[in-house]
Amino acid sequence: MDTTHDESNLGLIDRVVASVETAFNGIAAASIFFLMLLGVSQIVGRNFGYPMWGYIDFVEQSIAIFAFMGIAYCQRTGGHVRMDLVLRGLKGRWLWFCETLAILLSMGVIAVLIYYGYTHFERAYVQGDSTIDANFPVWPSKLIVPVAFSLLWLRLAIQLFGYGRLLVDPSRTPVGVPTIPSIEDIAKQDIDVTGENAPDNGGRGPRGAA
């Protein structure tokens, strides 16, 4: 088997999907900034007797943007909270086996969420559900959920293939999967950050030394 060709194909797919994830995450970040400006406008408007119409309804529907659109990006970068105390002590095939099993379970859960998320969107679209006050349609925000979860499922599929490669041959280069930093790596990073932020005392050693 041509492992180089295998890695290049997986890397290409990873980069293409990553570009979509980055775009989604950018939209989520921009929505937070926009809601901040919207909140300031609402406060100023209310002080002058001109509250923003439909402000609460708009905020409620916008939560889905920043709550879900960055979830696949977070998975790619390994930003989700993980209980990896046991995994940090594993190496080789045992580590990749546990990672593969976790990805398989995650894909099953996300598949269920995609299905029910889509049924909620479909029901809201067919019935014409709207918000209570401003009567905004709710189906756009509900559509974001299955779309974002579908992108997450695709990211999990890439990671499943990536971990599967390592499970077959642990000597291969990890592609499309986040790596768990060791305790030594974390300590080194903390030391580097502390050293960069330390005040310059002219190379005289500890503060107060002659």
Rounded (5°) CA angle 145-148-152: 130
pLDDT in tens, 176-189: 888 766 666 667 77
Predicted local distance difference test score (pLDDT) of residue 133: 81
35, pLDDT greater than 70: yes
Question: 171: which 2 tokens?
Answer: 């000597």
Predicted local distance difference test score (pLDDT) of residue 209: 42
The DSSP bridge partners found for residue 174 are none
Predicted local distance difference test score (pLDDT) of residue 208: 39
- Grouping H, G, I as helix, E, B as strand and the rest as coil, residue 49 is coil
Contact criterion met (CB below 8 Å) for 17 and 73: no
119, pLDDT greater than 60: yes
Question: 66: which 2 tokens?
Answer: 């920043």
**Of 116 and 58, which is predicted with more confidence?**
116
Predicted local distance difference test score (pLDDT) of residue 173: 84
